[in-house]
């Protein structure tokens, strides 16, 4: 089952600010690993909390990708991308 990857405009800005090598690594991870999974939750971790509980995160080196997973339309929406020190602030 192939999942569609959508990147939110805010996450696109985050991605554009990254070094080109890191950007390519993150995009490759999303397109080659996440989109080809039967369940994208299998390699991610759920966030905890009343508001954050609906989001999932993927780890790519020192960077984190925060996503919302929409099962009904088979879409993973990238909400935020950032370095692990700054992403949760």
Is residue 73 within 8 A of residue 63, CB to CB? The reply is no
Q: Name the fold adopted by 4-82.
A: YaeB-like fold (3.30.2310)
Burial class (CB in 10 A: 0-12, 13-18, 19+), 56: buried
Burial class (CB in 10 A: 0-12, 13-18, 19+), 8: middle
What was the pLDDT predicted at 34? 96
What was the pLDDT predicted at 89? 77
What angle, rounded to 10 degrees, do the helices at 20-28 and 9-16 form?
130
pLDDT tens, N- to C-terminus, the chain (89 residues): 689 999 999 999 999 999 999 999 999 999 999 999 999 999 999 999 898 899 999 999 999 999 999 999 999 999 999 999 998 77
Q: What are the sequence ranges of the domains in the chain?
A: 4-82
Is residue 33 within 8 A of residue 43, CB to CB? The reply is yes
């Amino acid at each position: 089952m192939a999942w569609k990857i959508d990147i939110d405009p805010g996450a696109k800005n985050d991605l554009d600010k990254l070094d080109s090598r890191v950007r390519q690594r993150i995009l490759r991870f999303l397109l080659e690993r996440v989109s080809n999974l039967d369940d994208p939750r299998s390699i991610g971790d759920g966030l905890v909390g009343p508001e954050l509980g609906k989001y999932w995160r993927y780890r790519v080196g020192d960077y984190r990708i925060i996503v919302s997973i929409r099962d009904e339309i088979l879409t993973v929406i990238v909400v935020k991308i950032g370095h692990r020190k700054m992403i949760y602030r």
